[in-house]
Amino acid sequence: MAEPAVAILGARGMLGSDLVVACRDCGIGAVGFDLPEFDITDDAQVRRAIVAADAVVNCAAYTNVDRAESEPDIAHRVNGEAVGRLGELAAEAGKWVLHVSTDFVFDGKLDRPYRETDEPHPISEYGRSKLAGERLLLNSGCRACILRVQWTYGRGGVNFVRKILDRARGGGPFNVVDDQIGSPTATTAVAEAMVELIRLRPTGVFHFAAGGYASRFEVARRIVDMTGVSCVVSPCKSSDYPSPAARPLNSRFDCAKIQALLGHEIRPWQEDLKAFVRQL
């Protein structure tokens, strides 16, 4: 039996699990690593994952945005230091690394979609930890590709779409912020794009999100309409519901760079969202 082509760290997570399926569907061998058997902060375990394949994809992360404000050391250890160490070990082994990052590396104050060349300025500990990971990886000496994604949702894990579905089924009413703008992006779509990157193995930073933009309120209203539930959803501002961690108001991505590499057009957010809601 041939050795796996790619080692996927965080393979049981919302994105990692979809990536495992996408790789196997496309004939790319994949071996998954995740908690509790695998810890990205453990050098010995990371080494074993690196030698298990000829490329490494890192979907492992500390993702609790609000809790990171009170647990910055843990967030930075997982999202920052461990990613830098992964890069160093991958450089020693001559392996290419694909690492998943986030729109939270930006402050959301720009008046246009963010390009890969725009200067990051995170406004939360989560965002700062993810930016630290990006920089440590790029400085590690390994061949690395960073894929920034945003507003992801999938069948596993906690995400905005599932929260809205639960609220709608509860009958409402409820409020949703209308001043945060971005693109709800299915993890299945992200996985498709990652398969292309695995095949091409480019280096540098890429932005990926579903086509088009909408506010959180507009997305919630669309989800409720799809369910056919009679439920009142009202707009509000982020300032009406303060949280421990600040969120970027503008999460829009310019995806022209990755679109030039992909073998398919990036689908509009409405298309994948409709399919996801129907599946549930």
Residues with a catalytic annotation lie at 126
DSSP three-state, residue 155 = coil
d(CA 224, CA 277): 10
Widest pairwise Cα distance in the chain: 58
Contacts with 2 (C-beta within 8 Å, 6 or more apart), sequence order:
29
Radius of gyration of the chain (CA): 18
Distances (CA, A) of 248 to 118, 252, 271: 15, 10, 25
- State the CB neighbour count (10 A cutoff) for residue 276: 21
30 forms bridges with which residues in the sheet?
6
d(CA 242, CA 244): 7
Burial 260-273 (b: 16+ CB within 10 A, else e): eebeeebbebbebb
Token representation of residue 215: 């506010």
